[in-house]
Amino acid sequence: MGVRRRSGAFILQVNPILCDGFGHCAELAPELVKTDEWGYPILKSDPVPLADAGTYESARYAERGCPRQALHIHRISEKKPH
């Protein structure tokens, strides 16, 4: 059984209308989320490779742990050359 490498990348996105600004996500995924002075999340905007399993796992914790379901992992697929 071989190990399948994940290709592509992801970014964590927030719906600012749903977010309550308590900043729980910054505790769950500190490498992806900082908070502003009011506690609202500032998300890392650069895509993260899916192969970075630790960071992807943190994003999933944050997505699942958000009490307002305001977070979403947006996958970006790699374009295959023709």
* Residue 68 engages ligand SF4 in binding (rule: CB under 6 A): yes
Question: Shortest distance, CB of residue 28 to ligand SF4, whole angstroms?
Answer: 7
CB-wise, 8 or 39, nearer to ligand SF4? Answer: 39
Cα separation values, 25 from 2, 59, 63, 80, Å: 34, 9, 8, 33
Give the pair of three-digit tokens for residue 43: 């998300």
Number of residues that bind ligand SF4 (CB under 6 A): 14
d(CA 65, CA 18): 14
Applying CB under 6 A, the span of 1-9, 48-56, 64-72, 74-82 interacting with ligand SF4 comes to 64-72
Q: Cα torsion for 64, 66, 70, 72, to the nearest 10°?
A: -30
Judged by CB under 6 A, the residue of 12, 29, 59, 66 near ligand SF4 is 66
Footprint of ligand SF4 (CB under 6 A): 14, 19-25, 41, 66-68, 70-71
